[in-house]
Amino acid sequence: MHRKATMALAVAAALGLPHAARAQSQDELRTLREQVRQLDRRVTDAEQAAIQASNRPASESTMNPAVSVILNGIYSNLSQDPNTFRINGFAPTLGDVGPGKRGLSLGESELAIASNIDHHFRGTLIASISPEDSIGVEEGYIQTLSLSYGFTIKAGRFFSAVGYQNQIHAHAWDFTDAPLANKVFLGNQLNEDGVQLKWVAPTSLYWDVGIEGGRGRQFPAGPAGGRNKNGVSSGNVFTHIGGDFGTGIAWQTGLSYLSTSPQDRTFDDLDSTGTGTIVTNSFSGTSRLWVLDGILKWAPNYNPTYTNFKLQGEFFRRKENGNLTYDTTAASLGTQTGGFTSAQSGFYLQGVYQFVPMWRVGYRYDRLNAGTTSNGLVDSSALTAADFPILAPYNPTKHTVMVDWSPSEFSRIRLQAASDKSRSDVTDHQVFLQYIVSLGAHGAHKF
Amino acid sequence: MKTILRFVVALSSAFAMLPATAALNVFACEPEWGALAQELAGDKVSVYFATTALQDPHRIEARPSLIARIRSTDLLICSGSELEIGWIPLLLTQSGNPKVQLGSPGYFEASQYVVKLEVPKVIDRALGDLHPGGNPHVHTDPRNIARIAQALEDRIVQIDPANAESYRSRSKSFLERWQAALARWEQQAAPLKGVPIVVYHKDFSYFINWSGMREVGSLEPKPGLPPTPAHLADLLDRMKIQPAKVIVYSPYNSPQAAEFLSSRANIPTVMMPFTVGGTDKAKDLFGLFDDTIGRLLATVK
């Protein structure tokens, strides 16, 4: 500060003194001195103001991670009782695959917290708060930032890179619910506790290859929660290629192979005595799932603001081989075990078109193929097919249409109608009216 | 065997490696930064233009082709100030490339080197798509280009010191030509001073600040939200009291709203180049400002 004052005086001296020297009156000199003093005060004040402006207030919260919250609520009108929901022809997954409650309900709220941890790692936690007041960890993982040559490692709980839609959070789906194929083959959505290694090739065409090992905490592995064993209980390998085409098309296609060894993976079924007794059956063996997925997005000149179109489809094929135990708790006809093999498949294809800013329409077609099943207990006549009603061959289908309105990037209101033939005997006519909003940090959506 | 061989050859050509001969692979988030890198580094860099003038830089899909490019990038040049928040962070985490992560020398945010305008005092989503760090479209002020060029020159030299001499002399030549052009533009743009203007989006704020034009409204009711009939009617009423002389929009905006207002208010619309490649004449950074000023003068006269 002292230096500043000296400098101000020097400046004043250089500019003012020649006049002062000529100044005859003492008054004039006094005025000049006063002006210099005032100038000095202003310089000091300005200096202080600049220092203050450049210093942000220190606070413990300046390093807070990015926080965002997803809220959603839904009105459901279902022509069939959702408590009787089942997808015939396929072993139930014990996942949350039903159409939800009738009437008004709060959907799952999501709390996402993410930040770079240091120069090596990034951390993400996505908690889901169910309307039944329970909190679940949807994803909680760390991811490397500093590995070279296109490698990244993820560890923790994350949505498995099996197929396309499985990795997308429900709030970013184009329809209210998951495709039927994701429901029967992945229990709606597979999030695995494990490690993922991914490599991106140094090519102009996008190409990645990855491998995941996990504890098998969810369908198609089993039992629920994962096996009590060391090592890896579930493995997934995947690859994607993708690129641009013309002046507005971006595409990506992927292939993944999920291999698990379910041990005592249970499902409930109705027995054949007509008394309404529920029996618990269990499967042990191997389960192998192939998924071929493709996505194509079009926007004129890659500018999706006004109009854009999205075509998405996945084909699933699963082979299971092992033993099926009937009635593990001996509640009905007694516990019996026999060989069991199945080869089943399913697919969905959906298109979503934004025809004007903010408005989109979409259609999805779902179809599952119960394929071939060989049940040793039935083949040996120990039991009959009627003892496994849910596994009776049936090919479920579903048509879904939707229209949604997104007044900003952060809110969306959607109306969806579906004709769901998941049950072999009845068609469920479903109507959903839903809002999905996000608060807080600006999220980035995966391709 | 022959078919297999042919298949392998076809496959390997499809997966052609990215150019490794050029010293530096540059990923330009917006065309203006790609053009600047080319001015400063010439053929010592291979610039990938991630977007064109026809794309809204706020809304870019994190396409697989972009991830593939970032994977092999040595220097990423973005506007920053959260302009690319919807896509760049995702590309960075997916790329497996430590050279361009936040905080690495290969990560360059142009807006950090200039004084930003319109830093919001109040931040709330109800006010639209705000940029807490200030307006990110800094390149529309030609003085900013010179400041950023100096910072970028230093950064390129830091990453590739072997070619420092070439970068320094090219930058010196560019800055000299730029200062000469700047003096010319200041003269040319003199008649624009005080001219009232209506913008589509707040992407010309820095140009308006430099040229001394006066912004009297924007077609977007709030930043980032598309124009609505109610807002346009409101704007038209306001323009009766505070008339504007011209309505400007960018190549990535639909001209509909601007034309609607233009026909009602009886003032011309001008599509500004906004960035390099936005118009035929805006072939490089010099052409960008020549054409921007030229188009405005032609309508204001």
- Give the closest of B95, B225, B254 to A200, CB-based: B95
* Bond before A220 cis per omega within 30 degrees: yes
Beta-carbon separation of A206 and B68 below 8 A? yes
- Enter the pTM of the model: 0.88
Euclidean distance between CA atoms A390 and A88, whole angstroms: 5
Question: From CA A401, how far away is CA A208, in angstroms rounded?
Answer: 33
| Predicted pLDDT at A46 | 83
pLDDT per residue as tens digits for the range B57-88: 999 999 999 999 999 999 999 999 999 999 99
Residue B65 and residue A116: Cβ atoms within 8 Å? no
Query: Which two tokens mark A64?
Result: 């807070």
Q: Which residues in chain B are contacts of A439 at CB distance < 8 A?
A: 125
> What pLDDT sits at residue A62?
73
Query: For residue B89, what pLDDT is reported?
Result: 94
pLDDT tens, position by position, A371-384: 999 999 999 999 99
Is the per-residue pLDDT at B10 higher than 60? no
Per-residue DSSP letter, A427: P
> What pLDDT is recorded for position A20?
46
Q: What is the pLDDT of residue A163?
A: 96
Task: Find residues 221-280 of chain B whose CB sits inside 8 Å of chain A.
Answer: 224-226, 252, 254
Q: Does A294 touch chain B (CB under 8 A)?
A: no
Min Cα separation B224/chain A (Å): 8
Do B63 and A302 count as a contact with CB atoms less than 8 A apart?
yes
Question: What would the DSSP string read from start to end of A231-246?
Answer: S-SEEEEEEEEEEEET
Nearest chain B CA: its distance from A242 CA (Å): 5
Instruction: Provide the CA A270 distance to its chain's centre, in angstroms.
Output: 34
Q: B240: alpha, beta or left, given left = phi > 0 and alpha = psi -120 to 50?
A: alpha
Segment B132-182, tens digit of pLDDT: 889 999 999 999 999 999 999 999 999 999 999 999 999 999 999 999 999
Q: What is the mean pLDDT of chain B?
A: 92
What are the structure tokens assigned to B270, written together? 């001008």
Cβ contact, residue pair A303, B56, below 8 Å:
yes
Cβ separation A302–B67 shorter than 8 A: no
Contact A200 B94 (CB under 8 A): yes
**Chain B residues with CB inside 8 Å of A304's CB?**
59, 61
Rounded distance between C-alpha atoms, residue A156 and residue A145, angstroms: 15
Per-residue pLDDT of chain A (447 residues; tens, 9 = 90+): 445 555 555 554 555 445 545 556 888 999 999 999 999 998 888 877 777 666 555 667 778 899 999 999 999 999 999 999 999 999 998 778 899 999 999 999 999 999 999 999 999 999 999 988 899 999 999 999 999 999 999 999 999 999 999 999 999 999 999 999 999 999 999 999 999 999 999 999 999 999 999 999 999 998 888 888 899 999 999 999 999 999 999 999 999 999 999 999 999 999 888 888 999 999 999 999 999 999 999 999 999 999 999 999 999 999 999 999 999 999 989 999 999 999 999 999 999 999 999 999 999 999 999 999 999 999 999 999 999 999 999 999 999 999 999 999 899 999 999 999 999 999 999 999 999 999 988 877 888
The ipTM estimated for the assembled molecules is: 0.88
* pLDDT score for B300: 82
What is the C-alpha to C-alpha distance for residues A334 and A162, in angstroms, rounded to an integer?
A: 37
Kindly list the structural domains of chain A, giving each domain's residue range(s) and its CATH number in brackets, ordered by start. Answer: 2-54 (no CATH), 75-105+147-440 (2.40.160)
For chain B, which domains are there? 20-184 (3.40.50.1980), 190-300 (3.40.50.1980)
Shortest Cα–Cα distance, A342 to chain B (Å): 34
In this prediction, residue A1 carries a pLDDT of 43
Burial class (CB in 10 A: 0-12, 13-18, 19+), A205: middle
Instruction: Give the span between the Cα atoms of A299 and A246, in whole angstroms.
Output: 11
Bridge partner list, B214: B196
